[in-house]
C-alpha cells in the first residue's frame, strides 16, 4: 500500500508477525530517514514492532531538502496553530491507513517525535477519541494549551524528555507541559536531561526504549 505520506519503514525480521507499531515524527527541516536512526538500537529490543517514519506533508520553507509539519517563518501563534491542525488531519489519515494495512488498534501504537514531531504527537494523543498505547516526546512543547483543552478527547499516557541546555525549544516548556498534563488527568513522566542541547542523546533514547518496552509489555 502507498500511504498518504512518504514513509521510511523498518519492518520486523522475516516471518515475525507485527504486533505493535511505533510512529516516529521528525523535527522541523528533517525527514523520516533522520528520525529512523533511533530504530537502529530500538528494533533489537522490539522484535515484533514495525517502525514508520513519515516525511512531513510540506517541504520546509528554510530547508528545501527537508520537511515540516507546520511553518515557523511567521511569529504568529494563530497561524502556527492553524497549520498544525492541518498537519493533524493529514497524520490522522496516515494513522488510519497504518491501522488498516497492518490490522492494528490504537492500543498497539506508540507515537513518538522530536521537536515539532513531539508537538504533533502530543496533539494527536490527546485528540484521538481513543488512547494510543503511549507517547514518547523529545524536546517539544504543547503548541496551544487553550486550544488543546477544548479539543481533548483522550488521555494517552506519555513520557516527555528535554535537554536542560536547549536553546531552540526552551526546557521551561517541559515544565509547562507537565503542569498541563497533571491538571488534565493525563499520566505523564518527564525527564530533564543534563548538559543536553536540542538533540536526542543516547541516554534519552535508552529511557524511551525502556518506556516503550514496558508499555508494549515486552520482557
The answer to whether 76 is a known catalytic residue is: no
147, 154, 155, 198: the catalytic one is 198
26, 31, 34, 166: the catalytic one is 166
Reduced to 3 states (helix: H, G, I; strand: E, B; else coil), residue 133 is coil
What does DSSP say about strands 49-54 and 58-59: parallel, antiparallel, or unpaired?
unpaired
Distance CA 27, CA 166 (A): 14
What does DSSP say about strands 58-59 and 67-68: parallel, antiparallel, or unpaired?
antiparallel
DSSP label at 155? -
Angle at 113 between CA 188 and CA 212, to 5 degrees: 55
Question: Could you give the angle at which helices 116-126 and 77-102 cross, rounded to 10 degrees?
Answer: 70
The answer to whether 115 is a known catalytic residue is: yes
115, 121, 139, 205: the catalytic one is 115
User: What would the grid cell of residue 188 be?
Assistant: 505523564
CB 200 within 8 A of CB 117: no
Distance CA 17, CA 193 (A): 35
Question: Could you tell me how far CA 129 lies from the centroid of its own chain?
Answer: 17
Distance CA 141, CA 116 (A): 8
Task: Give catalytic residues, as residue numbers.
Answer: 115, 166, 198
Amino acid at each position: 500500500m502507498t500511504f498518504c505520506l512518504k514513509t521510511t519503514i523498518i519492518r520486523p525480521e522475516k516471518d515475525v508477525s507485527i504486533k505493535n507499531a511505533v510512529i516516529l515524527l521528525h523535527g522541523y527541516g528533517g525527514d523520516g530517514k533522520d528520525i529512523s536512526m533511533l530504530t537502529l538500537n530500538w528494533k533489537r529490543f522490539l522484535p515484533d514492532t514495525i517502525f514508520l517514519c513519515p516525511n512531513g506533508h510540506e517541504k520546509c520553507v528554510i530547508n528545501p531538502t527537508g520537511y515540516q509539519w507546520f511553518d515557523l517563518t511567521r511569529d504568529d501563534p494563530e497561524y502556527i496553530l492553524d497549520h498544525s491542525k492541518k498537519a493533524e488531519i493529514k497524520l490522522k489519515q496516515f494513522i488510519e491507513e497504518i491501522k488498516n494495512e497492518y490490522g492494528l488498534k490504537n492500543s498497539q501504537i506508540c507515537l513518538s517525535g522530536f521537536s515539532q514531531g513531539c508537538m504533533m504527537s502530543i496533539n494527536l494523543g490527546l485528540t484521538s477519541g481513543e488512547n494510543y498505547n503511549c507517547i514518547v516526546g523529545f524536546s517539544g512543547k504543547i503548541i496551544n494549551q487553550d486550544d488543546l483543552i477544548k479539543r481533548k478527547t483522550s488521555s494517552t499516557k506519555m513520557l516527555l524528555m528535554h535537554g536542560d541546555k536547549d536553546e531552540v525549544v526552551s526546557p521551561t516548556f517541559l515544565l509547562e507541559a507537565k503542569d498541563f498534563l497533571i491538571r488534565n488527568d493525563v499520566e505523564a513522566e518527564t525527564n530533564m536531561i543534563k548538559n543536553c542541547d536540542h538533540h536526542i542523546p543516547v541516554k534519552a533514547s535508552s529511557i524511551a526504549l525502556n518506556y516503550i518496552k514496558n508499555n508494549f509489555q515486552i520482557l
